[in-house]
Structure 1
Amino acid sequence: CNVFKFLIALLISKPSSECDNFTDLDFRECFIGTNLYVKLLLYTRANLDCGQELSHNNFLAQPLFNLTLPTTMVIHGYRPTGAPPIWVDHIVRLLAAQEDMNILVVDWNRGAANLNYFTAVTNTRSVAANISAFIQKMQDNGASLSSVHLIGVSLGAHVAGFVGATLKGKIGRITALDPAGPLFTGTPPGERLDPTDAQFVDVLHTDMDALGYKGSLGHIDFYANGGADQPGCPKTIFSGKSYFVCDHQRSVFLFLCALNKTCKFTAYPCSSYNDFLDGRCLQCESLRPVPCPVLGYEVSEWRDAVVRLGQTKTYFSTSAEPPFCKTNYRVDMVTWNQFTRWGIVVIKLHSGKKVIEARMDHKVFRFEQYTATRMLAQFDEDLHPVQKISIRFITGNMIGPKYKFRLLRLRLTPLENSDRPLLCRYDIILEENIEMSFRPMPCEESHLN
């Protein structure tokens, strides 16, 4: 059967010399401006290496386009240099790996490639009208609107929103990757993406303090690292172009990693990123009995719960380098010390010669007598089994006598790997600014609450 499908694909697909490619423009064309032209490039499992431009009016003549399959449309954003997005081939292949579908790359580079951002913004309405008319023709020929998924990047997110609004919110899903902020922030819902534009709208924010949109736009909004500055991105203008685009582009790369399943980005509903880092939102109580949301393609387990709740903000953290994974532990400790102490905490996990470290330093913690403290420890790697734990309380005391902390209980709960054992230790004495190591022990039932 697979051999038969392969032979059919060879017969109906074009030679590589006849493949239709994403429009590649040069700086001169961007400088003088381009006239809008919307090109739909079709990819399926039978032609992943050879895009086929789909006729807006005669798409039924293309045998690779199957209206009975789901259709995912990928819509790029502003292209100031005119070069094709570097991620197009990657997202096509990863989408095809999810399920058998039509993948349409919406190439509106002629219209998005312009040094004048205002012109590109103006063109989004025309692009949306073009796509809407095409989808309407799909429906007229038997396609279901609920099987259409729009993935919009930056300006493309708002294009997707305009399409959804035109089709009365009957589109199945819109995924928005760091929706554009300039000229959209503060505008009413009819002038940007909003939750009524599709049956389900999920949004990922990575640059909301610059090129991205500041605020919630979907049924669920994922805020990576708080939604603004991303780890590993340049912090000064001397880094050149990367300083301006790194945070904004990170949304695409995180989504690609999620599609590739190299990382499971579990997100937690919370009122703020600081509350999330404080460990106050690590059980997804509002969604029970469904699991916590996970960034990516599969949303069936928690989608209905999120839609029922209304607009939901969720937070997660990443590392600085691909595949951007973090391994999270909830840390619960009870301290006994006669006087209040302030400081940050560093925890290390050991397995053989391998050591990973988490610094809880986003704020200074207060430790009081018989007081329970909860924190979130985030490690850049996963380590199992954990053979030893090291902990250090870092205070501002550098010249005075060394104070001691009596730790009545320490418990580390793995969040993403619930099948792994909890790590506990009881009644140990620590000295400030001095690292102490010990082996974890099984957690006593009386201490689990």
Structure 2
Amino acid sequence: MPWEHKMIFLCVLTVYITSLVVGVDERQEDEECADLNNTTWLEYRQQRVKLQVQYLLLTRRNVDCAQTFNQESLTTAQQPSYFNISRPTKVIIHGYRALGSKPSWVKELALALLRVQDVNVLVVDWVYSASFAYNLVVENYKEVAVQISVIINQLQKHGCKLESFHFIGVSLGAHVAGFVGTLFEGKIGRITALDPAGPMFKGADSSDRLDPSDALFVDAIHTDTDYFGISIPVGHVDFFLNGGKDQTGCSRSRFASMYGYVICDHMRALHVYMSALNGSCPLMGIPCFSYEDFLKGRCVDCGVFRGTCPTIGLTENDGIAISPIPKEQKLFLLTTSSPPFCTHHILLELEVSPLDKSAEVAVTLRTENLGTEQRLSLQTATTVYRTMLAHPVALCEIDSIELKNTGARFYRQGDIHIKSVCLSDVPSLRREEPLCVNNIDVRRGAPWSHDFVQVCGLI
């Protein structure tokens, strides 16, 4: 489904849903704790909603009760602010709100950040200006950035350093953050873009979208490049998860509504980022020219970064230690369908004797009750095959490998002689030797298997 059709669907869905609740004001009225706003279709039709931006502050001192923040917050004595000038500041910027509803994920992201670092978390609430008509929202995003720059200027006057600000922009919010960075001539410390928006931005000039010059370090996670996300690199490093398009688990049948299916790929970047903040396992990207090259095992190390692979999260510059930092580096990695999303990259190399007919081999890696299968189509003109596998555990924890000659009886090769099959960790952090088995005959209907006897760290 092209992204234009998805946008039409969202608009129709918007009209349907809001027609059921038109006139109902759902805004939070809690006087003690601040909250993001909602807006309604009726307000939009009557053009009552003008450009409005408000800010919410969360810190470790008020994790359960957001505080309204504005230019006077640091000077008024009536309600002392929890903002601490001596600490870094994370600025969260949401994106387009098709239904005019407040983003439900904001507090979860803020809490994830606060668990890792003692920081100020400023949430930019521009729901009023980000809802319903996407093309009009895009027209507003630079003005939103200008308003954000005003409060950043005020914080500078009170002693905050530009390099202490880390903007985290989701979808269209990534380009808002980018324009804030442009206004400050790229001196902001960092911008993290979570599936930066693609429609109306892919062909835009770099001054009108996020690009590496907008901050001292810009990293991006791409998960929906064929629909709502942008397909080109926009940062110093760009992580393309599963190629950046279709994410594991985001199938139509998994969701109760079409809306859930539409946004699943797009929002995966946010969920992966929040999971990465927990630090339960590393999500490392491998630099490569294309996803196809990555899957074919043509990129297996991080030499461009002097051997250190960039990792999604809050590590300074994603762990990149070289200077200057390369720009627009495309990084690829495979993920699972649920948190913590991490998987191990195993390079499978298969060398076969020349074949008279085409063949198919199913390769299965097993660890206790876990298994990963990959089917390889073997051709008469090729004898060496390389492919990247996603396996739940590291190479040293794989118990066995199984090979099976599959395919139709009459036009596929009957017997296959495999000169060698080798497995390698990618990247090989400890420089382990690959696991190899040589001289294997695999006949149709008679699977071959081999058990590995090994202990992690003692290979």
TM-score class, shorter-chain normalisation, is: 0.7 to 0.9
Q: 1:365 to 1:294 in 2, by over 3 A?
A: farther
Deviation at 1:280, TM superposition (A): 1.0
C-alpha contact (below 8 Å) 1:147/1:172 kept by paired residues = yes
Structure 2 residue 328 is the aligned partner of structure 1 residue 311: yes
1:414 to 406, 411, 425: 425
Quote the Cα distance in structure 1 between the aligned partners of 2:275 and 2:256: 28
SS in 2 for 1:427: strand
Contact 2:359 2:412 in 1 (8 A): no
How far 1:86 sits from its partner (Å)? Answer: 2.0
Q: How much does 1:170 deviate?
A: 0.1
Check if 1:46 corresponds to 2:61: yes
For residues 99-118 of structure 1, what are the structure 2 equivalents within 5 Å?
Answer: 99-113=117-131, 115-118=132-135
Checking the alignment, whether the CA contact within 8 Å between 1:334 and 1:409 is kept in structure 2 is yes
CA shift at 1:315, angstroms?
0.8
Answer whether contact 1:78 1:120 (CA < 8 A) is retained: yes
Alpha-carbon deviation of 1:377? 1.5
- What is the Cα deviation at residue 54 of structure 1? 0.8
State how many pairs are aligned. Answer: 421
Do the aligned residues in 2 keep the contact of 1:358 with 1:379 (CA within 8 Å)? no
- Verify the 8 A CA contact 1:356 1:383 in the aligned structure 2: no
Output one character per residue of 1:107-144: Cα deviation in whole Å (capped at 9) or x when no partner: 1111112x211221122111100111111121222111
Contact 2:116 2:278 in 1 (8 A): no
Gaps of 5+ in 1: 1-15
What SS class does the counterpart of residue 149 from structure 2 fall into? helix
Distance of aligned partners of 1:441 and 1:38 in 2 relative to their CA distance in 1, 3 Å threshold: same
2:225/2:245 contact within 8 Å kept: yes
Compare 318-327 and 78-87 and name the one that shifted more: 318-327
Residue 74, structure 1, aligned to residue 92, structure 2: yes
Does the alignment pair 1:377 with 2:394? no
Question: Conserved in 1, the CA contact under 8 Å of 2:174 and 2:210?
Answer: yes
CA RMSD of aligned residues (A): 2.8
- How has the CA–CA distance of structure 1 residues 342 and 402 changed in structure 2, closer, same or farther, with 3 Å as cutoff? closer
Structure 1 pair 27/441, CA: closer, same or farther in 2 (3 Å)?
Answer: same
Q: Against the structure 1 CA distance between its residues 22 and 413, is the aligned structure 2 distance closer, same or farther, given a 3 Å change threshold? A: same
Q: 1:402 to 1:181 in 2, by over 3 A?
A: closer
Change (3 A) 1:302 1:164: same
Residue 343 (structure 1) aligns with: 360
Give yes or no for the alignment of 1:404 onto 2:415: yes
Partner AA of 1:375 in structure 2:
T
Q: Which moved more, 1:227-236 or 1:336-345?
A: 336-345
Residue equivalent to 1:188:
205
- TM superposition score normalised by structure 1: 0.85
**Aligned-pair CA distance for 1:319:** 1.9
For residues 339-359 of structure 1, what are the alpha-carbon distances to aligned partners after superposition, in whole Å with 9 as ceiling and x for unaligned? Answer: 4745354322132xx131132
- Asked if structure 1 preserves the Cα contact closer than 8 Å seen for 2:164 and 2:189, the reply is yes
Shift of 1:81: 1.4
1:437 corresponds to which of 449, 456, 459:
449
Q: Is the 8 A contact 2:286 2:332 kept in 1?
A: yes
Question: For 1:315 and 1:109, how far apart are their aligned partners in 2?
Answer: 33
Q: How has the CA–CA distance of structure 1 residues 433 and 225 changed in structure 2, closer, same or farther, with 3 Å as cutoff?
A: farther
Q: Distance in 1 between matches of 2:438 and 2:202?
A: 51
Alpha carbons of structure 1 residues 304 and 327: separation in structure 2 relative to 1, 3 Å: closer
Q: 1:256 to 1:152 in 2, by over 3 A?
A: same
Q: Give the direction of change, closer, same or farther, for the CA distance of 1:340–1:122 in structure 2 (3 Å limit).
A: same
Flag structure 2 segments of 5+ consecutive residues without an equivalent. 1-29
- Note the alpha carbon deviations across 1:178-211, whole angstroms, 9 max, x for none: 1111121201111111111111111111111111
- Is 1:57 the counterpart of 2:72? The answer is yes
- How many angstroms apart in 2 are the aligned matches of 1:301 and 1:253? 18
Moved more, 324-333 or 194-203: 324-333
Give distance in 1, aligned partners of 2:427 and 2:46. Answer: 51
- 1:297 deviation in Å? 1.6
Letter in 2 for 1:168: E
Q: With structure 2 as the length reference, what TM-score do the two structures score?
A: 0.84
> Which amino acid in the other structure matches residue 399 of structure 1?
F
Code of the aligned partner of 1:59: L
Distance 1:366 1:305, change over 3 A: farther
Identical columns (%): 34
Corresponding position of 1:147: 164
How far apart, in 2, do the equivalents of 1:309 and 1:130 lie? 31
1:84 and 1:176 map into 2 onto residues whose CA distance is 19
Are 1:391 and 2:408 matched, yes or no?
A: no
Contact 1:219–1:307 at 8 Å: present in 2 too? no
2:93·2:168 contact (CA, 8 Å) conserved in 1? yes
Which amino acid in 1 is paired with 2:374?
R
> C-alpha separation between the residues in 2 aligned to 1:339 and 1:116?
59
Instruction: Sort the Cα spacing of 1:423 and 1:29 in 2 relative to 1 into closer, same or farther, 3 A.
Output: farther
Question: What secondary structure does 2:53 align onto?
Answer: strand
Whether contact under 8 Å (2:359, 2:413) holds in the other structure is: no
Post-superposition CA distance 1:122-170 (Å, at most 9, x none) = 2211110011111112122211111110000111001001100000000
